[in-house]
Amino acid sequence: MDYKKVDAKDIEFLVSILDENRVFKGDSINNDFSHDEMGGISHMPEVLVEAFSTKEVSSIMKYAYENMIPVVVRGSGTGLVGASVPIYGGIMISMSKMNKILEIDEENLALTLEPGVLLMEISKYVEEFDLFYPPDPGEKSATIGGNINTNAGGMRAVKYGVTRDYIRGLEIVLPNGEILNLGGKVVKNSSGYSIKDLICGSEGTLGIVTKVILKLIPLPKKAISLLIPFPNLDMAIGTVPKIVKSKSAPTAIEFMQREVILAAEEFLLKKFPDNSSDAYLLLTFDGNSTEDIEKAYENVANICLNEGALDVFIIDTDERKDAVWSARGAFLEAVKASTTDMDECDVVVPRNKVAEFIKYTSKLQEQFDVRIRSFGHAGDGNLHVYVLKDDLTDDAWKDKIEEVFEAMYKKSRELKGLVSGEHGIGFAKKTYMLQQYGYEYVNLMKNIKLAFDPKNILNPGKVCE
Amino acid sequence: MDYKKVDAKDIEFLVSILDENRVFKGDSINNDFSHDEMGGISHMPEVLVEAFSTKEVSSIMKYAYENMIPVVVRGSGTGLVGASVPIYGGIMISMSKMNKILEIDEENLALTLEPGVLLMEISKYVEEFDLFYPPDPGEKSATIGGNINTNAGGMRAVKYGVTRDYIRGLEIVLPNGEILNLGGKVVKNSSGYSIKDLICGSEGTLGIVTKVILKLIPLPKKAISLLIPFPNLDMAIGTVPKIVKSKSAPTAIEFMQREVILAAEEFLLKKFPDNSSDAYLLLTFDGNSTEDIEKAYENVANICLNEGALDVFIIDTDERKDAVWSARGAFLEAVKASTTDMDECDVVVPRNKVAEFIKYTSKLQEQFDVRIRSFGHAGDGNLHVYVLKDDLTDDAWKDKIEEVFEAMYKKSRELKGLVSGEHGIGFAKKTYMLQQYGYEYVNLMKNIKLAFDPKNILNPGKVCE
């Protein structure tokens, strides 16, 4: 790629449209901006700028487009596949300061906000209006812009769907600086190709999201969780298709293993309600009628007991809720803290294939003599499987992770799964996506990329390149 | 466009891969295939073929691509904007015989089917398994392939969303004959650009849908409708934002006027439960608990009475249900039968702007001295407004419809609405989409079209061209 290097003139331009204190270069750029949450892939931007407005983003893009400078956009940097790493240097635009909630519209059940608003702020804000933004990814400090760019799913996808299902409208800046408004506060839309849905999940490669209109729904009045211990993971996960088939419509079905719970206890210095069993299902139910919720969870509790569950804990006190959900929220960090380095596989498989996939990863653990930890969304088939480096040398680790991943993704394809359920392709999973889709499919993606970005300056080297 | 005309050699090829009795030419092609439900735009295909399999569709496309012959795909032909009219002649592929339901998967709540299955067959089929396919467009004889290509919405969008929200996977044939599998039986997907979501709503211009995997949900156990008469339409529609804001979550909120009800009564020779008021709201509620449903509809009934409703009829007997829903289903046909010709506007506006838009169409009716009839989805802001030709001459009609539409779409843009909620752009609404989006936006769509179809042979002249 023949990109122009950022020089003094470019810096001068950036300073002229932003304030001097929003343009960082050289040593004044914090090293954190060279990588995302997973690490592994890393490269420093040549210049880091903070945007305050759509107009600023547009001006920067126009300039970068004319001058052939690569641009990468960054939210909280909580990604796991290197999508926000500026592998060709250039300009990094931080969207963290475009973080205002602009309007709540109760007549249209719509929330308008800037892309840098954090996920945790959204739920808190709308709940005060008795409204609900259902998507619930584990990483609450991610920005909504980041969530849109990975089509993040989270735990409630079983019942409520994923981020895509809650995007009513987007304002975007194209690579050449043009501003487009996609969708709006409308419930239906059949007005030409859905560019909005193409932006969702495009990992910052097609356009820059500068404003968001989210769909809200009425807040369910009641919610309850069940923690259900099983003698082993097979039995726990094997029960899930029976729960789905029972039509009891839980909001979430998570699975977790004892090792991960112990790691979280150690990490948080906080006890989980129970850690005596090998494997657990954690289910939630929500709705407006206690009677309905009770009927649903009794039905599911009975299914679990019939399938060999050891007990059923109702998580109804604030203390228990806090213990369970803070642990669930800390799993990734806890696993990471337990080893020297790790990489993750975020496949999604049909829900009745989860057990087979997890059983296979146990086999791989023995076969390759490597620690593998997993937890995730049993109810929607999206698994987070972590392979841990521990005391392997860098070279041995590089070889091992390649072999283990190769095997895992092959298995996922056999089960008609897909490479990524919610973390995306970014830089790290490009090979596996190509293996899955083949040349023709990925080439079509490349052509779509060129339709948006003929000079290939926006987040180059990601997804399909 | 420099397309090749279909000649004897092409026919010979088509006969060689299909049976002779599935290749129609000249006078053996029924005139119905030259237009869709709205009429207006019309052109005969040079040859009409019936496909039985993906492989056949792929072979036809490969041949057409190599030989530069335009191809248009057709389902039931119930479209309203000319999207399936072969304006450049060429080959028309009828998908009506690819109409098998292939599999219901209760463990993954997924239905796999061919694109020619009719909407009415889907709901009937899945309900036997206590499952539910929520999208509910008025035209039940449309194919699911057609519904996907317009991202059809229907009445239940208020609560359940639109067709897009229920597409888990698609098999498509690209213009060059390549076959791609998009998505699958998976709940989440962040594996590259969502081509599946681009196909949805692309009106047969980007690829041909040859297989579909739909998401199902548990069938709600109970449903009830309320028919609520108001002194006038303003009061009826003015109540809707208050209903939305009340968070009572109705499944559908339809509005209808006396004239349309009378037309349906005459058309069906069947009485509506009440026709003494000027305007009505028709609401449905569904769920699993009678108590919850009753609480919700009592709440909404009170809101309506406070806002001036004249009465509240509960539609709970089979006879009343049939009378109401058969009338609602016949509105389009009834309005059509009441005049010589008509054209329709399918805008979608924010829900709290419906009243203002409808009031404006009443003004246009007087200003332009033309009959305008409307009904539609008050709960989701998607309006179906019909301008009737009556005894106007062809020339006068052409001028009038242009002026009236110009005014209506302008108003819709002012209200931050969009050109089409669910019927699409096709051929008829291209100008209005361009007026709405502007050159840059439509040009991006054109580039996307070229990414899929560099020779522009699949349904040329539609949507963004």
Residue of B190, B409, B465 best to disrupt the A interface, most CBs of A under 10 A:
B190
Alpha helices for B23-105 (secondary structure H): 54-67
Q: Residue A210's pLDDT is what?
A: 98
CB contact under 8 A, A421 and B150: no
Report the candidate in A273, A227, A229 with the shortest Cα–Cα distance to residue A253. A227
Instruction: Write the CA distances from B94 to A351, A373, B184, B209, integer angstroms.
Output: 35, 51, 25, 12
Nearest to B292 among A152, A198, A292 (CB): A292
Closest chain A residue to the Cα of B216, Cα to Cα: A247
Q: Is B58 on the interface with A (CB under 8 A)?
A: no
- Are A93 and A74 in contact by the 8 Å Cβ rule? The answer is yes
Q: Is A247 on the interface with B (CB under 8 A)?
A: yes
For A17-72, write each residue's pLDDT tens digit. Answer: 998 999 999 999 999 999 999 888 999 999 999 999 999 999 999 999 999 999 99
Q: Residue A209's pLDDT is what?
A: 98
Beta bridge partners of B376: B255, B383
Report the candidate in B157, B294, B284, B287 with the shortest Cα–Cα distance to residue B220. B287
What residues in B contact A107, CB-CB < 8 Å?
241, 244-245, 350-352
Nearest to A425 among B192, B200, B241 (CB): B192
Q: Is B430 on the interface with A (CB under 8 A)?
A: no
Instruction: Write the CA distances from B414 to A229, A394, B411, integer angstroms.
Output: 57, 60, 5
Judge if ipTM > 0.90.
Answer: yes
CB contact under 8 A, A107 and B450: no
Nearest to A180 among B105, B189, B441 (CB): B441
Q: Please tell me the class of the A222-332 domain.
A: alpha beta
Residue of A193, A247, A423, A463 best to disrupt the B interface, most CBs of B under 10 A:
A193
- Are B440 and A192 in contact by the 8 Å Cβ rule? The answer is no
Q: Is A180 on the interface with B (CB under 8 A)?
A: yes
User: Torsions phi, psi of B365, nearest 5?
Assistant: -55, -45
For A88-106, write each residue's pLDDT tens digit. Answer: 999 999 999 999 999 999 9
Q: Residue A405's pLDDT is what?
A: 96
For B216-261, write each residue's pLDDT tens digit. Answer: 999 999 999 999 999 999 999 999 999 999 988 899 999 999 999 9
Domain parsing of chain A, residue ranges = 8-97, 101-218, 222-332, 339-424
Collapse the DSSP code of B121 into the 3-class scheme (helix H, G, I; strand E, B; otherwise coil) and give the result.
helix
Question: Rounded distance, CA B305 to CA B302, Å?
Answer: 5
The predicted model scores a pTM of 0.96
Q: Is A220 on the interface with B (CB under 8 A)?
A: no
- Are A158 and A377 in contact by the 8 Å Cβ rule? The answer is yes
Nearest to A244 among B107, B288, B416 (CB): B107
The pLDDT confidence band at residue A146, using thresholds 50, 70 and 90, is very high
Q: Evaluate whether B8-97 and B101-218 have a shared fold.
A: no
Neighbouring C-beta atoms of residue B394, cutoff 10 Å:
10
List chain B residues with pLDDT less than 50: none
B194 token code pair: 């969502």
A235 token code pair: 């039995």
The pLDDT confidence band at residue A1, using thresholds 50, 70 and 90, is low
- Give A 381-410 residues with CB within 8 A of chain B: 381-382
CATH number for the segment(s) A339-424: 3.30.70.2740
Instruction: Name the amino acid, one letter, at B236.
Output: A
For A151-191, write each residue's pLDDT tens digit. Answer: 999 999 999 999 999 999 999 999 999 999 999 999 999 99
Nearest to B382 among A105, A162, A188 (CB): A188
- Give B 323-352 residues with CB within 8 A of chain A: 346, 348-352
Q: Is A307 on the interface with B (CB under 8 A)?
A: no
Q: Which residues of A330-355 are buried (b: 16+ CB within 10 A; e: fewer)?
A: bbbbbbbebbebbbbbbbbbbbbbbb
Nearest to B185 among A153, A185, A416 (CB): A416
Q: How high does pLDDT run on average in chain A? A: 95
Q: Please tell me the class of the B8-97 domain.
A: alpha beta
pLDDT, average across residues A413-419: 97
Q: Residue B356: is it exposed, middle or buried by C-beta count within 10 angstroms (0-12/13-18/19+)?
A: middle
Task: Give the total residue count for chain A.
Answer: 465
Categorise residue A259: left if φ over 0, alpha if ψ from -120 to 50, beta otherwise.
alpha
Q: Is A443 on the interface with B (CB under 8 A)?
A: no
CB contact under 8 A, A245 and B157: no
Task: Give the total residue count for chain B.
Answer: 465
Q: Is A4 on the interface with B (CB under 8 A)?
A: no
Q: Residue B1's pLDDT is what?
A: 65
The pLDDT confidence band at residue A138, using thresholds 50, 70 and 90, is confident
CATH number for the segment(s) A101-218: 3.30.465.10
